[in-house]
Amino acid sequence: MCHAPSLLRVARRLTSSSAADDLVQDCLLLAWRGFHQLERGTNARAWLFRILFNTFYGQGRKLRRVPEAVPLTPQVSSIAPVVDDSIRLSSALDTLPAEQRAVLLLAAVEGFTCNEIAGIMSIPIGTVMSRLSRARQAMKAHLSAGVTRPRAAAAARKTR
């Protein structure tokens, strides 16, 4: 249960708030049922996140909320003041394609390694690396240009 806030934090960035609550409930219940399958020495937190993503995909959901493509050129020098703006950071995150947002959350916020993320999301590590690179490039681009699209993000969230 101590990992519920982390799971909820990621789930709410993947899907709507109420669906995220259901998703985390399902995830924790499945983990309780399958606790005997957890081998000693296994990273329990990564195991829980893997269940979260398996449940998410298993319920026929797909990572969505792909925003309109916004070709931007990063201007690194302008990023420093922007990263202090939590609203703009959060909005920039929301404009990322969901697959990129998921790997960035798992890496930057939850502190998982690329290898662990590959296991959690059941994708090759090369895919994790490329998604992370693209996610960080996109974040840089949005923040350096000062472009955030809260309305687009909100609209996209409603479609989930």
Figure out which of the listed residues 128, 148, 153, 156 binds other proteins, where binding follows CB under 8 A. Answer: 128
Contacts (Cβ under 8 Å, ≥6 apart) of 140: 74, 76, 79
Distance between CA atoms of residues 86 and 84, nearest Å: 6
Q: What does the radius of gyration of the chain's CA atoms come to, in whole angstroms?
A: 16
Rounded least distance, CB 30 to other proteins, Å = 10
The answer to the question of residue 105 lying near other proteins (CB under 8 A) is yes
Question: How many CB atoms neighbour CB 135 within 10 A?
Answer: 22
Residue 143 near residue 88, CB atoms below 8 Å: yes
Minimum distance from CB of 21 to other proteins (Å)? 5
* Part of the chain binding other proteins (CB under 8 A), chosen from 38-46, 51-59, 60-68, 138-146: 138-146
Closest CA to 151 of 68, 83, 81: 68
Asked if residue 82 lies in contact with residue 140, where contact means CB atoms within 8 angstroms, the answer is no
- Examine residue 113 and tell whether it contacts other proteins (CB under 8 A): yes
What is the footprint of other proteins within residues 82-101 (CB under 8 A)? Answer: 83-84, 86, 89-90, 93
Nearer to other proteins, 144 or 156 (CB): 144
Please report, as ranges, the residues that interact with other proteins according to CB under 8 A: 1, 4-5, 7-9, 12, 21, 24-25, 28-29, 32-33, 74, 76, 79-80, 83-84, 86, 89-90, 93, 104-105, 107-109, 111-115, 128-129, 132-133, 136, 139-140, 143
